[in-house]
Structure 1
Amino acid sequence: MSGDRPMGRATLTPEQTARVVDIALDLARAGDTDQLIGFLAHGLPADTADPGGNTLVMLAAYHGHAGTVRALLERGADPDRTNGRGQTPLAGALFKGADDVVTALLEAGADLDTGTPTARAAATVFGRAHLLVRQ
């Protein structure tokens, strides 16, 4: 078997890898937690991001999927990772009015002062400062 590929995980081509990432990003947007977690179980990093720096958590948060956000955070996703525009998942959730996502991110220890705008600033602008009071 000399010259054959070693047993174990198959290596994906760059095109295949890009397709897997695109599917995972769509799953995060849709809040399809079970399928998305399957991708992570097979080695996809929890902080996978699109070319704009929007992570799986950012996309799930922005689209109001608290369960998906929690599942990603439980698997090591960074709640404070900013996208290419300096925005955090917490600021995005505040902008969208996704109270349950805000709660999930705060429970995971999201930093209120990371990003541009910070979550504190976003909460003030959008009249949601009451959500930032940690219980």
Structure 2
Amino acid sequence: MDRLLLVIEFDAENFTEVRHEVDAHTRQCRIPPEKAADFVAAVNEVMINAVRHGGGQGVLRLWRDVHLQCEVRDHGPGFVAERYLNRDRRPSPSAEGGMGLWIVQHTTDLLSIVSGATGTTVVVGTALPSPTAPGKTR
């Protein structure tokens, strides 16, 4: 069953506060520190893209199921997502960008991008640790 953790609008003004809230939820989910840092960095990158390229603001939704998942939605002009996904080799830096999404793809357990003329929706996720068996301690 999905459990909604956070829904919040963000822009350049509250960007850092939102990232800290995502980080706090990541820690509450007991994700290992390195994996949690990768997830928060991926969410940060997607939020930066929404502010820079997606109209200056967005909506972030965070929930947990078997993954901790974060959706970032903006109302920008969209882009051709396929150009930035499923690359084995790291792209060269360019004015168009794309390296951030490559890093997101390689540091998270799932990435989905739907983009068009009315905006972009990006979902990133990281697997949650298995719960311990009843009666056992860590």
What TM-score comes out, normalization by structure 2 length? 0.26
Q: Which has the higher strand share?
A: 2
What TM-score comes out, normalization by structure 1 length? 0.27
Relative contact order (C-alpha < 8 Å, sep 6+): which is higher? 2
Q: Which has the higher helix share?
A: 1
